[in-house]
Amino acid sequence: MAQLSAMDVYNLLPKANCGACGCKTCMEFATKLVNREAKPEDCPKLDDESLEKLQELLAPPVKELTIGEGDREVTVGGDEVMFRHELSFFNPPPVFVTVYDDMEEDEIAGKTEEIQEFQVERVGEVLKLDGVAVVSRTGDPEKYARAVEIAVERSEDLAVALITTDPKVMEAGLDVFDERPLLYPATEENVEDLAKLAADGDCPLGLHARDVEDLVPLVVEAQQYTDDLLLDPGTEFGPHDVVSTTDKLAEIRKAAIEEFESFGYPTLVTTFPYAFLEDDPVKAARRESYLASACVLRYADILIMDTVEPWALLPVLTQRQCVYTDPREPQEVEPGLYRIGDPDENSPVLVTTNFTLTYHCVAGDLESADIDCWLLVIDTGGLAVDVSVAGGQFTGEAVKEVIEETDIEDKVEHRVLVIPGKAAAVKGDVEDATGWDVMIGTQDSSELPEFLEKEGLLRIEE
Ligand code: SF4
């Protein structure tokens, strides 16, 4: 897709510079639209025709669509670049986890609750699973309907995917839950029936083929009924799973960006079949974890997994969190003074930078060891310790500034600072600028609790 310029967008705006959209000028608004920081609907002066033209012009090559409604809604797709640094990636791929209609009812309930309750905090953000996928293995519409009923009852805000090739079974699932579930898989054999069901129920439809080119006729047929499609080019299992699967996904993304209309939809990846292909459940979860993590990088828009093992899900969710941060935004926390635990006048004072990951690692390691201390966070513009030392942001003056702004000198009776091990080079500079005694801490924040204890710094009485 040719790079859209702010001028292309500006030409379609009213040019009234009225400020009603929150921008001082229409050109500022046009720039925000190109950067996807605003939506055309934010300009109340646009007439219907111009609004429609703008929406068309700004539509990303990978269609953005929703699965579910209300609290159960997730958004997928919407990307327009191959590489994150070219703009940003949008809409982190939701992770669905499967339950099966041949499981005992209490097993379905238990696994759904695990999916619902799974959460882990990382870098100040809670990472969660997004959906439950109910798979028919019995082919029995009644059993399937009951499985869907349990999965919906035992979840609160999970999106739902209905997985069966049999249109009758799919209908039974839709009778129980019709809040825009994802219907999958539409194949050569059933695409017409499932596309009609998707159109009638206003549901997104996942197409499945064995290879990229085999998707084209499926897309053409499904488009006669619905345009809310997702593309599964066939996950490869076995020794070459990662390379073969991600190559297919990259081919689709590239074609979408080059405006090959049939591929302008989000992609769907299933790793759950590993649960049946591998005898050893640990090995199955490990393979799912590798494959799903790789597909988060290249270019899955939704993942359907079987495992609920935290060790297998964490790499996937962590990868997703990293890749789907906006590279145009510095990842930083507010500089200043942070209380860790219940510090007092004899508690140690540690220094770190305001790079989000650095701050949360240091604070998390201290908190989990029940250390009471003061954490001085200096403004390095969101850079990590080693980078900011090299770049001249981590300096004695920067530390002095945060000491003065936070009145830490009124809060503690001692004058001892612990700086990160990676900032050892600026020890003298910090001492000269602040007049405090400076101790060099550890290279890794996980070693800080032991270091503070060993050096007798848990209580500093001078
Ligand atoms: S509301 Fe519309 S007309 Fe007014 S400044 Fe914004 S873009 Fe221009």
pLDDT > 70: what percent of the chain? 99
Mutate to test the pocket of ligand 1, among 18, 31, 41 (most ligand atoms within 8 A of CB): 18
**How sure is the predictor about 122, in pLDDT bands with cuts at 50, 70 and 90?**
confident
- Is there an atom of ligand 1 within 6 Å of 220 CB? no
Each residue's pLDDT tens digit, 185-213: 999 999 999 999 999 999 999 999 999 99
Judged against a pLDDT cut of 80, whether residue 361 lies above it is answered with: yes
Across 414-431, average pLDDT: 97
Report CA(51)–ligand 1 centroid distance (Å).
12
Say what the pLDDT of residue 87 is: 87
Say what the pLDDT of residue 101 is: 98
Q: How far apart are CA 159 and CA 130, in angstroms?
A: 6
Mutate to test the pocket of ligand 1, among 15, 45, 46 (most ligand atoms within 8 A of CB): 45
Q: Of 327, 411, 404, 335, whose CA–CA distance to 373 is shortest?
A: 411
- Residue 240 neighbours by CB under 8 Å, 6+ apart: none
- Is there an atom of ligand 1 within 6 Å of 59 CB? no
- Residue 392 neighbours by CB under 8 Å, 6+ apart: none
pLDDT > 90: what percent of the chain? 91
CB 248 within 8 A of CB 211: yes
Q: What are phi and psi of 91, to 5 degrees?
A: 55, 85
- Is there an atom of ligand 1 within 6 Å of 310 CB? no
Judged against a pLDDT cut of 60, whether residue 399 lies above it is answered with: yes
Looking at the CA of residue 17, tell me the nearest atom of ligand 1.
Answer: 5
Say what the pLDDT of residue 159 is: 98
Q: Of 132, 109, 105, 129, whose CA–CA distance to 117 is shortest?
A: 129
Looking at the CA of residue 16, tell me the nearest atom of ligand 1.
Answer: 3
Q: How far apart are CA 294 and CA 236, in angstroms?
A: 13
Judged against a pLDDT cut of 90, whether residue 125 lies above it is answered with: no
Across 13-30, average pLDDT: 94
| Residue 154 DSSP symbol | T
Residue nearest to atom 3 of ligand 1 (CA): 16
Say what the pLDDT of residue 462 is: 62
Judged against a pLDDT cut of 60, whether residue 214 lies above it is answered with: yes
Which residues belong to the annotated binding site for [4Fe-4S] cluster?
A: 18, 21, 26, 43
Weakest-pLDDT range from 64-68, 234-238, 325-329, 427-431: 325-329
Q: How far apart are CA 119 and CA 128, in angstroms?
A: 5
The amino acid sitting at 254 is K
Report CA(68)–ligand 1 centroid distance (Å).
33
Report CA(26)–ligand 1 centroid distance (Å).
5
Report CA(382)–ligand 1 centroid distance (Å).
33
Residue nearest to atom 7 of ligand 1 (CA): 26
Q: What are phi and psi of 381, to 5 degrees?
A: 70, 25
Mutate to test the pocket of ligand 1, among 29, 32, 51 (most ligand atoms within 8 A of CB): 29
Weakest-pLDDT range from 50-59, 195-204, 430-439: 50-59
Across 93-117, average pLDDT: 98
- Is there an atom of ligand 1 within 6 Å of 223 CB? no
Segments of 289-441 assigned E as strands: 302-305, 336-340, 349-353, 373-378, 416-419, 437-440
Residue nearest to atom 6 of ligand 1 (CA): 21
Say what the pLDDT of residue 1 is: 53
Residue nearest to atom 4 of ligand 1 (CA): 18
Q: Which residue ranges form the domains of the chain, and what is each CATH number? A: 6-58 (1.10.15.40), 64-323 (3.20.20.20), 336-454 (3.40.50.11600)
Burial grade of 276 (CB within 10 A; 0-12, 13-18, 19 or more): exposed
The two tokens of residue 365 are: 């390691």
- Is there an atom of ligand 1 within 6 Å of 18 CB? yes
Q: Helix (H, G, I), strand (E, B), or coil: what is residue 34?
A: helix
Judged against a pLDDT cut of 60, whether residue 350 lies above it is answered with: yes
- CA angle 73/74/79 to nearest 5° reads 145
Report CA(36)–ligand 1 centroid distance (Å).
16
Report CA(42)–ligand 1 centroid distance (Å).
8
- Is there an atom of ligand 1 within 6 Å of 277 CB? no
The residue ranking higher by pLDDT, 261 or 75, is: 75
- Is there an atom of ligand 1 within 6 Å of 19 CB? yes
The pLDDT mean for the chain works out to 95
**How sure is the predictor about 2, in pLDDT bands with cuts at 50, 70 and 90?**
low
